[in-house]
Structure 1
Amino acid sequence: MLSSTTKRIPVALWIWYRGGNFRGFQRQPEGPTVQAVLEEALASVGVPATIMPSGRTDRGVHARMQVVSVRLEPGDSAEAMEKRLPARLPPDLGLCAVRRPGSFHAQWSASGKGYRYRLRLGGTPDAAWAPYALDVASEPLLQGARAVTPERLEALLGAAVGTRDFIAFHEKSSPQKPRTLESATLHALGGGLYEARLSGDGFARYQVRYLVGSALKAAAGLLPEEAWKAALETGAAMEGFKAPAHGLVLWEVRYPPGVDPFTAGERLHPPGLPLEPPFL
């Protein structure tokens, strides 16, 4: 039997998941996690392997595009895996593509990520979106505040764009270093539903949730704008707000040309991705 991992076949899996029924991505003793469920499904189709993701998502966070590296047994193929794995996955976890890249690592080869945070600023609540969007009007920590306008929220998010130390906006367990937020914009989805789109070269733990939540708090007049600016410019501590996990989607993992296992067409129209919320 061939036991050397050098003989095994490296592949990249593009998976999606709704995070509500998982206790985060990383395997842990309690509850189902994305890693545990995926590795069990892989083992059931002849791939007993530990997956290497592009990064972890926290409990309740969704992913339109999560990429994981895995090695297949000799004689297997990406095409065969793509056919037999989907039937072993639960309803809230799915497969878009399996590709055999060249030199590739799901995490270390990544050049950036994009996230989207959905929130309701008005209109009539939509039952289909309720599990996947923050209803700002009913959020306890924002009660009694002035109404949040899209213009105000987008202006505050836009102020965060640039290369800086975002230490005031992430868990201290993540490395403290400069990170580049390439863009932060707000887009209307209709009916009072909006999504904040954030793109950057990398994000620390909870960074997107603290950025969106604290911008909401400042837009609502509950956090002084001076405190928001100081947190961005100097890393000064503030009484921020970590937006709830259920509104957040890991939207895209980017790789440099020549390394990216997936085509531009696949990224634009992901094969097998559900079109209902939280994905569009």
Structure 2
Amino acid sequence: MQQALEEALRAEGVPATVMPAGRTDRGVHARMQVVSVRLEAGDSPESLEARLPARLPPGLGLCRVRAPRSFHAQWSANGKEYRYRLWLGDGPVPGDLAPYALDVAREPGLESTGVRPERLVSLLSQATGTRDFIAFHEKSSPQKPRTLASAALHALGDDLYEVRLSGDGFARYQVRYLVGSALKVATGRLPEEHWRAALETGTAMEGFKAPAHGLVLWEVRYPPELDPFTAGERLHPPGLPLEPPFHFG
């Protein structure tokens, strides 16, 4: 989608490359991604906000264009929330949900209909706090302490669930390895002591990287004085596409 956004901006006389709050993997969805872009002399956020939506492809919406002082989409951020959708039913995931939720019973490497939600809740809760998540992310990301403020499981109806992870920052693939490895323990394919050792000491394990399509970057957070969104806009984002994956979240 970054390429589509940059093409739309160029068509409106904004040739600069955008700087996103963070890169998402191919196949990951983003609900409220934030980007920085330098406008040409004489242009304004208000004018661009009025012009740009007509240039955007389906599935890509524009919430707001604003110019907070001393703002940088990536370096000003102080937190993110990711959500990962899981289908825990015995039968196949319904067709309209299939592109946006992991079908655990039919996913190679998991293939289990015995995942209990309360088991997942217990495992995910062990991951909260400030720690080195080196066992759960690519080594290309800096190795440093990160804080996972909350990790919860929400029922969305029928057999659809959503893992919600909130923290001060996430390394590459960290969310996918956390969710996938918790599922691997819950299905009995990974001993829980390996999961605990990975969390407590960074010990490498044979984890599982959950597929990209179930993951949504839900929002990027900023200090109040820099936040480009009002509280109301965060609750009901203007310009948010109505089609999945946001309509059932």
Question: Could you tell me the TM-score, scaled by structure 1's length?
Answer: 0.86
Counterpart position of 2:110 = 142
Q: Is the 8 A contact 1:123 1:191 kept in 2?
A: no
Q: Which of 246, 250, 261 in structure 1 is aligned with 2:228?
A: 261
Are residue 45 (structure 1) and residue 12 (structure 2) matched? Answer: yes
Quote the Cα distance in structure 1 between the aligned partners of 2:205 and 2:169. 22
Are residue 63 (structure 1) and residue 61 (structure 2) matched? Answer: no
Counterpart position of 1:129 = 97
* Deviation string, structure 1 residues 134-179 (Cα, Å, up to 9, x no partner): 0101111112x46100000111011000000000000000000000
Counterpart position of 2:214 = 247
* Deviation string, structure 1 residues 79-116 (Cα, Å, up to 9, x no partner): 11111111111113221111121110000000010000
CA RMSD of aligned residues (A): 1.1
Quote the Cα distance in structure 2 between the aligned partners of 1:156 and 1:266. 33
Counterpart position of 1:7 = none
Q: Is the 8 A contact 1:60 1:245 kept in 2?
A: yes
Are residue 184 (structure 1) and residue 151 (structure 2) matched? Answer: yes
**1:17-166 equivalences in 2 (<5 Å):** 34-122=1-89, 125-143=93-111, 145=112, 147-166=114-133
TM-superposed deviation, 1:128: 1.3
TM-superposed deviation, 1:208: 0.1
Q: Is the 8 A contact 1:148 1:219 kept in 2?
A: yes
Q: Is the 8 A contact 1:123 1:193 kept in 2?
A: no
Q: Which moved more, 1:65-74 or 1:172-181?
A: 65-74
One-letter code of the match for 2:9?
A: L
Quote the Cα distance in structure 1 between the aligned partners of 2:173 and 2:19. 20
Counterpart position of 2:163 = 196
Q: Could you say if the C-alpha distance between residues 267 and 123 of structure 1 is closer, same or farther in structure 2, counting changes exceeding 3 Å? A: farther
Quote the Cα distance in structure 1 between the aligned partners of 2:59 and 2:226. 29
**Structure 1 outlier segments of 4+, above 6 Å:** none
TM-superposed deviation, 1:123: 6.2
TM-superposed deviation, 1:36: 2.0
Structure 1 gap ranges (5+)? 1-33
Q: Which of 201, 219, 235 in structure 1 is aligned with 2:186?
A: 219
Quote the Cα distance in structure 2 between the aligned partners of 1:276 and 1:134. 18
Percentage of identical aligned residues: 78
Q: Which of 234, 239, 246 in structure 2 is aligned with 1:272?
A: 239
Q: Is the 8 A contact 2:59 2:241 kept in 1?
A: no
One-letter code of the match for 1:142?
A: L
Structure with more strand by fraction: 1
Quote the Cα distance in structure 2 between the aligned partners of 1:77 and 1:262. 17
Quote the Cα distance in structure 2 between the aligned partners of 1:209 and 1:166. 12
Question: Could you tell me the TM-score, scaled by structure 2's length?
Answer: 0.96
TM-superposed deviation, 1:35: 2.3
Q: Is the 8 A contact 2:29 2:216 kept in 1?
A: yes
Q: Is the 8 A contact 1:142 1:220 kept in 2?
A: yes
Structure 2 gap ranges (5+)? none
Q: Is the 8 A contact 1:146 1:221 kept in 2?
A: no
Quote the Cα distance in structure 1 between the aligned partners of 2:89 and 2:212. 20
Are residue 228 (structure 1) and residue 195 (structure 2) matched? Answer: yes
